[in-house]
Chain A
Amino acid sequence: MNKNITPPVIEIGIIGWLKKNLFSTWYNTILTLIGLYFIYLIIPPLLSWIFFDATFSGTTREDCTSSGACWVFIKQNMKLIIYGLYPSDELWRINIAYFLLTVSIIYLLIPNLKYKGFVGIFLLGIFPIICVFLFSGGLGLENVETRLWGGLFLTLVIAGVGIVLSLPIGIMLALGRRSKLPVVSLLSTIFIEIWRGVPLITVLFMASNMFPLFMPEGVNFDKLMRALIGVMFFSAAYLAEVVRGGLQAMPKGQYEASQAAGLTYWKMMGLIILPQSLKIVIPAIIGSFIALFKDTTLVLIIGLFDFLGIIQFVGTNPDWLGFSHEGYVFAAAIFWVFCFGMSRYSQRLEKKLDTGN
């Protein structure tokens, strides 16, 4: 018997792979051909519109003579898209925040670095406080009204506030719902189910129309504040259910062991149960953050100019009518990068945190 006969050339290498994955049966061959035809129909025109036939340089719409996309439109409006109507002299304040945010996130993304915990605490605890002073003024900085806030900056502010504030509220609600005290558990359940049962738009309508009625005479929240409160409660209710899932996944022995060791309720939760259960649900929490990030676009319906709102707005500028395709494709690309990045990160984290039990 000759052991050195190589497998037939058609079963190995690229040809083997092609045969196995694309042309294994006659109907697979047909499917492959149909798929290739679809790709041929969509990809080349799309690529030439976005890159090959597109105009990148110039300053006015007259420069866009080619059949492709007119990226001059985006370039000329870049300042509005990124900063909104924020005063030009004060843009450095936003830039500092963008810089700090980017550096911290890159630090967190690089594997095997020390002190990641501290960077995380900085990002969730200290950074937001710095931002409050940077953005709205105080401590010697000039006051900037929130109606001037807009663009990608506003989107990140809303998403950031939603994420930072809704997590603690969500954890409290989840603990409340799992509580043995019937009143606490009932109240938390009602609260969670009401927010989860209605669409975010109605929450925002409620925030902008009903909050002014709830407050005493003279107390006035601005539009952004109202939207933030609405977004915060809405997202807290969803996070509460995610956290509750983690609490339920904890084996009973963990509770019993901590009680046997004489820990009080808050020590048991804070030192034993929550650290473990939050770790399990980190991917799900990131999932909620992605949903929240996408949902921030809805604030344009109550008249705030977030990223998408600004894109809509610059599209109605008479100088740039008819370039809505470019605006939407650009916005979609930015949102996609953020959301896809977050979801890939959470998948990686899931693999890393999986301790196998």
Chain B
Amino acid sequence: MRPSKFSNFIFNRNVQGTFYQAITLSLVILGVYYIVQNTAENMMARGLASGFQFLGVESQFDIGMTLIEYSPTSTYFDAFIVGLLNTLLVAGIGIFFATIVGFAFGIMRLSSNWLIAKIAETYIEVIRNIPLLLQIFFWYFAVLRALPKPKQSIEFMDSIFLNNRGLFLPDPNFGEGSSIIFSLFWITIVISIIIFVWSKRRQNRTGITFPAFYVSIALVLGVFFAALTATGFPVSFDIPELKGFNYKGGTRLIPELVALTFALSMYTAAFIAEVVRAGIMAVSKGQTEAARSVGLKEGLVLRLIIIPQALRVIVPPLTNQYLNLTKNSSLAAAIAYPDLVLVFAGTALMQTGQAIEIIGMVMGVYLFLSLFTSIIMNLFNRIMRVGER
């Protein structure tokens, strides 16, 4: 029996494809329409106006920690910026410490010393398998809030104080002449870069090496300290002092910030350690052996052969961890650190009731960060792929 024209038509792949897509699209559009319709009705019923006009209105609430000028008379948009900056601050400090601790534990995990490797493994397995929120609670409620009062502060070198009001650090004061030191510092950095480029080129051309690293270090530090002495130490420190019931002067880091960054760095470090370990182990043993057999010294094997290849494997998952840390910093809301989520999706949302706009903005910020990171990562992968076989 020959198939009829009609069955030819309905069993055609393209026709079927178009049909399914049309159905999916109309279902999605119907769903979205239904939700939009309901939302509009509900907002009418509650007397809410949609739109972003509320951003220009006075916020009338205060925020415990602000990096820019802010008061209850500032607008909701200012509150948004304050929250965003606080989130970025936690993320920045967290990423810094998580990287250092994570690399340290990742390398320790591969140590030939059995005890050191086991200590690192225990750390990783314990920290990774306990929820982050629980760790934040522990550091905040059980450790920092249980610290002594300012009078019995824990002291480090008579200038750093830790108590239940937070961590007090000395503030550097830059007096006259310090601008000269700064400009000299940057000039020596630029000169060092030039030395690096020159020595690399000369080595490529003639094969003669030049100790560019040590020369640059000596240059930068030497000039820095020489300038410091010549100008008569224009840098002084504003050391926090106990006045009454609290410390005055210096920089105060609120306990919420300390607990949050500490927990975030410890937690993310455990994941970074695993990333680092996987990256180093991904470099095949033949690479090390080949490098040794052409006569490279141990340090050079590490610097020229293993690290560049391991980094290629490490960097993409590492940035992923950085992104996770930034997203996890939103747990700040649980211990009342004024980050973007607490300030904007919490307080501002409660006051204005503009749920859609506010949550849209907050999600938009995180989506932008994710998108931005993945674009950078794709670029990195494209550049790094060039050298591969």
Instruction: Let me know if A181 and B113 touch, CB within 8 A.
Output: no
Chain B residues whose C-beta falls within 8 Å of the C-beta of A257 in the assembled complex: none
Chain A neighbourhood of B131, CB < 8 A: 294-295, 297, 308, 335
Q: Which of A21, A187, A300 contacts B112 (CB 8 A)?
A: A21
0/1 string, A1-40, CB within 8 A of B gives 1 = 0000000000000000000011010001001100110110
Least CB separation from B115: chain A residue: A35
| B20 with A202: CB separation less than 8 A | no
Query: B349–A209 contact, CB under 8 A?
Result: yes
B142 touches A324 (CB 8 A): yes
Q: Decide: A300 near B334, CB < 8 A? Known: A31-B113, A187-B24, A213-B38.
A: yes
Chain A nearest CB from B149 CB (Å) reads 16
Is B66 an interface residue when CB atoms closer than 8 A count as contact?
A: no
**Residue B71 is within 8 A (CB to CB) of chain A in the complex:** no
Q: Which residues of A contact B24 (CB under 8 A)?
A: 181, 183-184, 187
Q: Which residue of A lies closest to B371 (CB)?
A: A197
Which residues of chain B have C-beta atoms less than 8 A from A221's C-beta? none
Is A213 a contact partner of B112 (Cβ separation < 8 A)?
A: no
**Chain B residues bordering chain A, tally (CB within 8 A):** 54
- The smallest C-beta distance from A265 to any residue of chain B, in angstroms, reads 9
Partner-binding segment picked from A50-58, A131-139, A142-150, A325-333: A325-333
Tell whether, in the assembled complex, residue B126 and residue A336 are in contact, meaning their CB atoms are under 8 Å apart: yes
- Contact among A180, A205, A308 with B345 in the assembled complex (CB-CB below 8 Å): A205
Q: Indicate whether A213 sits within 8 Å of B134 (C-beta atoms), given known contacts A22-B114, A197-B367, A206-B363.
A: no
Q: How far is the CB of B58 from chain A (nearest CB, A)?
A: 22
A202 to B128: give the CA distance in the assembly, Å: 23
Interface string of B316-333 (1 = CB under 8 A from A): 000000000001101101
In the complex, whether A165 has a CB less than 8 A from a CB of chain B is no
Tell me what chain B mostly uses at the interface: helix, strand, loop, or mixed.
Answer: helix
Q: How far is the CB of B109 from chain A (nearest CB, A)?
A: 13
Which of B185-193, B216-224, B253-261, B354-362 participates in binding chain A? B354-362
CB under 8 Å from chain B, chain A span 288-302: 290, 294-295, 297-298, 300-301
Q: What is the CB-to-nearest-CB distance from A201 to chain B, in angstroms, rounded to a whole number?
A: 4
B295 within 8 A of A: no
Q: Mark A285-327, 1 if CB is under 8 A from B, else 0.
A: 0000010001101101100000010001001000000001100
CB of A216 closer than 8 Å to a CB of B: yes
- Bound Cα distance A194, B363 (Å): 9
Residues of B within 8 A of A193 (CB): 370
CB distance from A8 to the nearest CB of B (A): 21
Specify which of B25, B130, B142, B345 is in contact with A339 (CB 8 Å cutoff).
B130
Closest to A191 in B: B28
B355:A210 contact, CB within 8 angstroms: yes
Measured CB to CB, the nearest residue on chain A to B37 is A216
The 7 closest A-B pairs by CB, nearest first: A339-B129, A197-B370, A21-B114, A199-B327, A294-B131, A183-B21, A199-B330
In the complex, A22 Cα to B143 Cα: how many Å? 34
Q: Does B61 contact A (CB under 8 A)?
A: no
**B230 at the binding interface (Cβ < 8 Å):** no
Complexed CA–CA distance, A300 and B327 (Å): 18
Q: What A residues does B215 contact at CB under 8 A? A: none
Determine the chain B residues whose CB is within 8 A of the CB of A297 once the complex forms: 131, 133-134
Minimum Cβ distance to chain B for residue A323 (Å): 10
Q: Are B113 and A32 in contact (CB under 8 A)?
A: yes
Q: List B142-161 residues whose CB lies under 8 Å from chain A.
A: 142
Selected A-B contacts with CB under 8 Å, 7 pairs: A36-B115, A38-B119, A181-B17, A184-B24, A201-B331, A205-B362, A332-B130
When the two chains form the complex, which single residue of A198, A209, A215 contacts B355, counting CB atoms closer than 8 Å? A209
Contacts A297-B131, A332-B138 given: A197-B366 contact, CB under 8 Å?
yes
Q: Would you call A346 an interface residue if the criterion is a C-beta within 8 Å of the partner chain's C-beta atoms?
A: no
> Quick check: B366 and A28 within 8 Å, CB to CB?
no
Find A325's partner among B25, B115, B142, B367 (CB 8 Å cutoff). B142
CA distance A3 to B137 in the complex (A): 64
* Cβ B137 vs Cβ A340 within 8 A: no
- For A39, give the chain B residue with the smallest CB separation: B119
Shortest CB–CB separation between residue B39 and chain A, in angstroms?
Answer: 5
